[in-house]
Structure 1
Amino acid sequence: MSLQIIQGNSSANFRKHLIAQTVATALAVTSFASFSAEESAVEKEDLDDVIVVTAQKRTQNVMKVPVTVDSISAETIKQSGSIMLSDIDKFIPGFEFGDGDVTQAGVTMRGVSSPNISVGGDPSTATFFDGVYMPRAAQNVLFSDMQRVEVLKGPQGTLFGKNAAMGVVSMIPNAPQAEFEGFLKGTAGTDNLQRIEGMVNFGLTDNVFVRINALTNTQDGFADNVADSPLNTGEKVWDDSEKDHQAARIAVKWEVSSRTNVQLSYDWDKLDQGPGGAIGLSEYAENPRDPFADTFANDVVNGGESRDMTATTLKFDHEFNDQWSMKFTTSFREWETNNRIDEDGTQDITRYLDTDNHEDSDIFYNELQINYNTDTFNYVGGLTYSKENVHQTTFISTTTDTAARLISSELNGQLETGVRDEISGLIGIPADDIPDSFVLQAMQSLGLPLEHLWDADQWASSLNLIPHPDPSYGGLSVGEVIMIGAGMPGVPLSGDMFPTLDALTGVTDFAYEVLGDPLVFGPSYTGMMWSENFINNGEFTSYGIYSDFDFQLTDQWNVFFGVRYSEDDKDFSWEVSETQFAEVRPGVSNILFPARDELWQSKSWSKTTGRVGTGYQINDDHMVFASVATGYKAGGFDSLASPHSESDGSIIIDPATGDVVDVSFEPEESVNIELGYKGTLSDSLRTTFSMFHNILDDQQTSRSSKQPDQAQALPTIVNQDVEIDGFELGMDWQVTETFATGFVTEVRSTDTESDEFYNDSGTLIPAGSSSSDTNTSYTLKADWIPDLGFGTTIIHVDYVFRENDRGAIIGEDDWVNDIPNYFDDTELLNARISWISDSDSIEIGLWGKNLMDNRYSGGPGGRTKDILGTGYTSVNRGMEAGIDVKYSF
């Protein structure tokens, strides 16, 4: 059976859509599509030759749309075994989706991303689901009964509003329809993968239709977490990439008349999975030299990532006549997330740090769209309004054992002074004139510097140096006073004396209490948690009004232009609570960040963006196009960088204005110039090509930064300017009736200028620039339908190559150069063989991912590298394989 025969059989859903995978490369984006009178005209064309798209919010033939667009069909989603955006980015040049943490996932478009855990910021690429904008923590949803996923690259501020500075991603689920249909599909695979998906569509009446679908996906981790922490009693210890994710949707469509329909849908999404594995690289890690070992140790207490999310959406479509139509969309989405992760990559209780991001947010989104269409003129205009309420609590937790280690570092300054004074008194040289190396040698002879104040020998040496704070003791050290009280004056205090002295005099408690500092405490407090919490609240309001015009000047030439005005108002607050350990040991104050009372700031941003372009249809098979577009991403606030001083938590006043200092960061603004070609050669080879030059000002990048007087590194917004030059090429060639192949590639070079910032080791990285070499990524795919004489067999293979460009990152610490496979290019081979019965009711598939079993290291974690010596990384899952069975009815 040939590809062409399958494509022409309208009785089978599979056969209707295979062309979208095997022949068409340049598919398009739909977001708020209004399928009006123009659609009927398009439907009159041969569907084997036309792919209907609405990339410009009006129905068009993809090969005649004068913009760069891509799409992934339902068939490609199925053949590649994809259930999330990160599974299908390989088929779209210039697009990547990182989902290491589902609730903090990030889109990368043409090399630009802006992931950040702050609820006060926004992404650079806008994401939509069923025509509704998706905020940052809601972007990553399961592909349950998805019709297609579409990507429009370059600034899209005119038609899609804010946060589309680099592009748009749109996920489009199937809508209810009149026909009765359904399916049940089960998948099993390596690492105990278990996936069940089902859908049923039916008509309640002649004009009311219902579609219900659900998907559950569970899988064990690929590396065992062997941490056995006494603090984690009774809590689940997650393995690396262990997951449990469910989603369901019900949609009801009412065809009020031939020109009017209403759709109401409800979406539910629940996630529970292991936190991103912090694979330790330090000497204290489980496997310090092998991040790809089968075991690792993360002792994070009650670690895990979860999200509970629901959404209700109402869509109203109406055609006034053959030219005028409208669409109104209103949606309310709410979610709660929790993501508690290990930040040290060890199970050493004295080197423990975790961060826990809690979010409880909602968004009310609305859009009214008007369309006017004739043979020579198309107009799209509309209004958007959204109201988002956000709450975020960022818990930064350590153990009392680790807190004692950090306090020990602070005491070393006092000890150094004591040793320097002792030497000065012995040799008669001013203390300031004694070489540092000589002081260090003397300290080492005493078993110092102090590494941990609960080390008995080190603590005894320290007490012999620290002067007693009571002047009545005449400058005697704490150790000398202890020994006098024990009846042994003149005998130096030593670590092995502590057990005996403790039994007689309670000397340990005395030694810690006599210093008069609650932060100096003993091992009786071991195993307790020390947490300091950032609390943020925000109220964000966004407005937009847009108009876009498309004139068909001749049969071959059209021009278009559009403009949009956007305004964003943000109110945001910061608060840092006192550590709860103060309830156990009164007088203790924060050691990571000073406590801060709640403080609000307000800021508004507005921007007018636009686009202008033209397309020239050389003939029915070839066209060229050009465009200039501008985009905008709203400014915002960094949840971990407030208008308080870092030293004592007091408010910083701008001396020039007398007002509280403005800590907001500027919006991103982009300009993109694009030239392109689309063509069909010999009715079998479809090609799309585009060249672009993109200028992005004030890109909001997230850096792990350790500011002065800050105890540990945290994500911080750093602005940088970026210029990108590149081209993208897509080709799909139907070689024979039963064999088709495709190729997509992206090549780009990037110049970056960054503001100064402190890296995760506290080193000030000056403002500077970097230029990446030309980076190349490509995907090769092939589909073959051999004639086996029974049923239909499909063999799909794809190979993915992505050149590594991490060497161009500004301010990266030297230690990352030793991370195994961190700078390797990515190579992935995937395949699926499926068989479909003659009745199209049964399909069986065998699949494999990463068949070469290539392993790579992800982004380095250096937040504790400086203070605890514990750097870490993440790693990918190795080869996967499995089987799926689908029954359609």
Structure 2
Amino acid sequence: MSLQIIKENSSANFRKNLIAQTVAAALAVTSFASFSAEETSVEKEDLDDIIVVTAQKRTQNVMKVPVTVDSISAETIKQSGSIMLSDIDKFIPGFEFGDGDVTQAGVTMRGISSPNISVGGDPSTATFFDGVYMPRAAQNVLFSDMQRVEVLKGPQGTLFGKNAAMGVVSMIPNAPHADFEGFIKGTAGTDNLQRIEGMINFAITDNVYVRMNALTNTQDGFADNVADSPLNTGEKVWDDSEKDHQAARIAVKWDVSSRTNVQLSYDWDKLDQGPPGAIGLSEYAENPRDPFADTFANDVVNGGESRDMTATTLKIEHEFNDQWSMKLISSFREWETNNRIDEDGTQDISRYLDTDNHEDSDIFYNELQINYNTDSFNYVGGVTYSKENVHQTTFINTTTDTVTRLLSDQFNAEIESGVRDEISGLIGIPADQIPDSFVDQAMQGLGLPLEHTWNADQWVSALEVMGEADNVMAYLASLGMVPPGTPLTADFVRATGDVTYDVVSAGMGIAEIFGPSYSGMMWSENFINNGEFTSYGIYSDFDFQLTDQWNVFFGLRYSEDDKDFSWEVSETQFAEVRPGVSNVLFPARDELWQSKSWSKTTGRVGTGYQINDDHMVFASVATGYKAGGFDSLASPHSESDGSIIIDPETGEVVDVSFDPEESVNIELGYKGVLSDSLRTTFSLFHNILDDQQTSRSSKQPDQAQALPTIVNQDVEIDGFELGMDWQVTETFTTGFVTEVRSTDTETEEFYNDSGTLIPAGSSSSDTNTSYTLKADWIPDLGFGTTIIHVDYVFRENDRGAIIGEDDWVNDIPHYFDDTELLNARISWISDGESIEIGLWGKNLMDNRYSGGPGGRTKDILGTGYTSVNRGMEAGIDVKYSF
């Protein structure tokens, strides 16, 4: 229902009723599980007829679609102030979208998330924009002039191909048309939020139309980064979640004839902003006991998140006759991303670590679809082809101060072993039976353990215990630098700078031992990955209308994925400063390629029964598939020296690919309208997901630092989803969506981020409940039109079921809290509909929560961290339409 229709009615009361129906329709589409179609000739005043769906790649009335789908309309996007997927997930049961890093965000569908850190893998839920598949770092785009967003849950391998093991998300922008229209909208809010959006649509000729739109969104961070590090001299220091994102689109549509149209579009997206802050929880952090303080300290050098992305898309649609039609989509999208984040949550130069992911990738996507439609039979089939080229360099950056701290730990291990042996000899007990407390006491008596070799007092103590102190001074005496018999003292170490360190380095043959003159220099070890991914698919799907009330459908798809992938780890560039040093975090590796192919036939079968015009039941069984892949940080090299691992049985390089995900979903559902005012959708599902690819921060043996690693697990999910919308009066509507699920998980063994081997095991989560309550009211104030929108979001916390979490996570404030968010918007529309003013608020209860823990440096540097959400927000927006 458009405001233009409202304008054409002179009765004030009838006008209010139509606006109420507009809001009700938008909300009904949200929870009623329907894919809205493009503009149709259906009369818009009839709410029972307006909701038309394309979830099965064919146009159908929502009441005859035997699948569970959801759609967010443009009206809901506007009333909720949404500009990204993370803003609208609250309206869709079973769907979440991460609101952290834009370039590494991911979909969670019915509790199953997709790891996006590796360019060698794929998401479990497929994301499409304007009918084109969007890989990992391209998924999160701004809602600039968006017509709707559609979410289809459960495996969708038949119609949508690979990587739809858990569902599909489709963003559909508005298309050009013949009418002249446009708008400009400005938004201002807390934390200096500034958002400007504009659109214009016009006809060049009688059959050629142009639509252009743009959006810019900037906002300051909500916590000040007070890091004052010499490492960042002259570089911008980002505050927590500081935003700067722009997007634009131009589309040209040509109606070649009454049966043929061609559309060419160009999309541009530019991001340059701060990542979520690494809020330190260690004793070395700015506010170790209060992650929600107004300040934090991240000293990451030249940190930030950026993405430059463009796409060109060609769409051709042609109707051969009243039954046969075709659609061709061809698109080329390319992007460059950079995501450099703090990994220690401090500004301690000797505990510094950051990761920096650079990606330069592109995808060429093509689909040819054929449709055949009659009153009793529908067919959709087609072929898909895509070619993706990926390149990622992952920089693991630290400082020479941190490297020296890590080497100090190695000294301590050797010294501790010697002390343990000495105690064993004195008391006659085997070394491995000596209590740790005895060894710790002895070490303390010696002024150890060594915290950092550049601590002169500790350095002297360590050399004395190792029996090297006299050797160092004897060597210096032989050079005439000191008189014979001069003892090694801390004052001498401080006075001579690097001298004693260089002597020990040469004597032990360890170039990585160096003195404090190298302090403040950067040390980087780089993972380099390249990939060429080719994907093919062919599908056919049939829908038979057996009677006026009963239909059945079934379909099959064959998918094949070929992946070539490479790994390389470069030598640290610090070797140019100090010749002879080698990597201390990960061994250097020469480039090595592997190739692997996966194929899968997926299918679905189902039925729907229309009890009457108001009630329908349906059932389906569907399978899905997510391609296998390669972990960008786990290569077929040994971890100890970087050499290639050879399979002793085959004599070939070991295969390090991970298996594809395979899912089966059984679903029963109901859709109905009660008393012409209460719309209800209900679905009950059982999902089996084999070999789910989860990303865990893992520290393997002989690995100095934890890194994201793919761990496979099997999952079974039982749950139900319910959506209800009730038009209470002509001017008041309310709605409710909820999801309840329980999950059983079996995980293979893996090392967690502290290097502890977590044995293979299983876990069962308690019943997890999430829901959203919403209401819209249109009070009659006598002038213009006022709409009041309120929504309340509750999500039960299920983090306690995660296998392998370290104990320190239990102490993170508000990490295990359930989420409660209250949002509202009051808007006023002028009688001429040219002006709209809105006042809005988000998280009005100002609830604060901790995000996922960062423990990559917890074991080696004692520095764990978390992320936190933004507090209450409020603002105003003004829109002028013409």
Provide the TM-score with structure 2 as the length reference: 0.96
Contact residue 165 and residue 633 of structure 1 kept, 8 A: yes
Matched, 1:527 2:532: no
Contact residue 20 and residue 75 of structure 1 kept, 8 A: no
Counterpart for residue 332 of structure 1: 332
Matched, 1:593 2:586: yes
Contact residue 465 and residue 479 of structure 1 kept, 8 A: no
Matched residues in 1 for 2:320 and 2:432: separation?
88
Counterpart for residue 284 of structure 1: 284
**Cα distance 1:753–1:786, how it changes in 2: closer, same or farther (>3 A)?**
same
Counterpart for residue 865 of structure 1: 858
Contact residue 631 and residue 670 of structure 1 kept, 8 A: yes
Matched, 1:796 2:789: yes
Contact residue 464 and residue 477 of structure 1 kept, 8 A: no
For residues 330-729 of structure 1, what are the structure 2 equivalents within 5 Å? 330-419=330-419, 437-468=437-468, 476-478=470-472, 492-500=487-495, 506-507=499-500, 509-729=502-722
Which deviations, in whole Å up to 9, do the C-alpha atoms of 1:89-108 show, x marking residues without a partner? 00000000003010000100
Contact residue 177 and residue 209 of structure 1 kept, 8 A: yes
Q: Comparing 21-30 with 136-145, which one deviates more in the overlay?
A: 21-30
For residues 719-798 of structure 1, what are the structure 2 equivalents within 5 Å? 719-798=712-791
Matched, 1:216 2:216: yes
Matched residues in 2 for 1:279 and 1:4: separation?
49
The answer for unaligned runs of 5 or more in structure 2 is none
1:489 Cα shift? 5.5
**Cα distance 1:708–1:145, how it changes in 2: closer, same or farther (>3 A)?**
same
Contact residue 186 and residue 877 of structure 2 kept, 8 A: yes
Q: CA-atom RMSD, angstroms?
A: 2.4
Contact residue 6 and residue 18 of structure 1 kept, 8 A: no
Matched, 1:89 2:82: no
Counterpart for residue 179 of structure 2: 179
1:670 Cα shift? 0.3
- Percent identical residues: 87
Contact residue 238 and residue 303 of structure 2 kept, 8 A: yes
Matched, 1:130 2:130: yes
1:115 Cα shift? 1.7
**Cα distance 1:625–1:131, how it changes in 2: closer, same or farther (>3 A)?**
same
Counterpart for residue 20 of structure 1: 25
**Cα distance 1:538–1:506, how it changes in 2: closer, same or farther (>3 A)?**
closer
Contact residue 212 and residue 248 of structure 2 kept, 8 A: yes
Contact residue 466 and residue 478 of structure 1 kept, 8 A: no
1:43 Cα shift? 5.7
**Cα distance 1:423–1:810, how it changes in 2: closer, same or farther (>3 A)?**
closer
Contact residue 28 and residue 150 of structure 1 kept, 8 A: no
Matched residues in 2 for 1:726 and 1:437: separation?
51
Matched residues in 2 for 1:659 and 1:512: separation?
39
Matched residues in 2 for 1:799 and 1:501: separation?
66
Which deviations, in whole Å up to 9, do the C-alpha atoms of 1:392-449 show, x marking residues without a partner? 0000010000000001111123323554576688899997887654443222112111
**Cα distance 1:7–1:76, how it changes in 2: closer, same or farther (>3 A)?**
farther
Counterpart for residue 302 of structure 2: 302
Counterpart for residue 472 of structure 1: none
Matched residues in 1 for 2:821 and 2:431: separation?
63
**Cα distance 1:112–1:695, how it changes in 2: closer, same or farther (>3 A)?**
same
Q: Comparing 422-431 with 532-541, which one deviates more in the overlay?
A: 422-431
Counterpart for residue 158 of structure 1: 158
Q: Comparing 671-680 with 423-432, which one deviates more in the overlay?
A: 423-432
The one-letter amino acid paired with 1:478 is V
Matched residues in 2 for 1:864 and 1:678: separation?
50
Query: Which of the numbers 820, 835, 838 marks the counterpart of 2:831?
Result: 838
Counterpart for residue 243 of structure 1: 243
1:682 Cα shift? 1.0
**Cα distance 1:488–1:83, how it changes in 2: closer, same or farther (>3 A)?**
same
The one-letter amino acid paired with 1:152 is L
The one-letter amino acid paired with 1:792 is T
**Cα distance 1:589–1:196, how it changes in 2: closer, same or farther (>3 A)?**
same
Which deviations, in whole Å up to 9, do the C-alpha atoms of 1:492-538 show, x marking residues without a partner? 42212334456xx9555435444331010110100000000000000
Provide the TM-score with structure 1 as the length reference: 0.95
Residues paired across the two proteins, number: 876
Contact residue 27 and residue 51 of structure 1 kept, 8 A: no
Which deviations, in whole Å up to 9, do the C-alpha atoms of 1:624-657 show, x marking residues without a partner? 0000000000000000000000000000011111
For residues 110-121 of structure 1, what are the structure 2 equivalents within 5 Å? 110-121=110-121
Which deviations, in whole Å up to 9, do the C-alpha atoms of 1:746-779 show, x marking residues without a partner? 0000000000000000000000000000000000
Matched residues in 1 for 2:3 and 2:257: separation?
38
**Cα distance 1:188–1:500, how it changes in 2: closer, same or farther (>3 A)?**
closer
Counterpart for residue 799 of structure 2: 806
The one-letter amino acid paired with 1:79 is Q
Contact residue 624 and residue 662 of structure 2 kept, 8 A: yes
1:554 Cα shift? 0.3
Contact residue 793 and residue 835 of structure 1 kept, 8 A: yes
Which deviations, in whole Å up to 9, do the C-alpha atoms of 1:7-54 show, x marking residues without a partner? 9969999889534324444555659x799xxx65x5699456431111
Matched residues in 2 for 1:605 and 1:309: separation?
29
The one-letter amino acid paired with 2:750 is F
**Cα distance 1:743–1:491, how it changes in 2: closer, same or farther (>3 A)?**
same
**Cα distance 1:794–1:435, how it changes in 2: closer, same or farther (>3 A)?**
closer
The one-letter amino acid paired with 2:564 is D
Matched residues in 2 for 1:134 and 1:691: separation?
29
Counterpart for residue 265 of structure 1: 265
Counterpart for residue 144 of structure 1: 144
Counterpart for residue 69 of structure 2: 69
Q: Secondary structure at the match of 1:664?
A: coil
Which deviations, in whole Å up to 9, do the C-alpha atoms of 1:833-887 show, x marking residues without a partner? 0000000000000000000000000000000000000000000000000000000
**Cα distance 1:424–1:852, how it changes in 2: closer, same or farther (>3 A)?**
closer
Q: Secondary structure at the match of 1:679?
A: strand
Matched residues in 2 for 1:741 and 1:481: separation?
85
Contact residue 32 and residue 679 of structure 2 kept, 8 A: no
Matched residues in 1 for 2:2 and 2:328: separation?
43
**Cα distance 1:353–1:323, how it changes in 2: closer, same or farther (>3 A)?**
same
Q: Secondary structure at the match of 1:282?
A: coil
Query: Which of the numbers 794, 800, 815 marks the counterpart of 1:822?
Result: 815
Matched residues in 1 for 2:815 and 2:240: separation?
18
Contact residue 746 and residue 760 of structure 2 kept, 8 A: yes
1:73 Cα shift? 0.2
Contact residue 528 and residue 569 of structure 2 kept, 8 A: yes
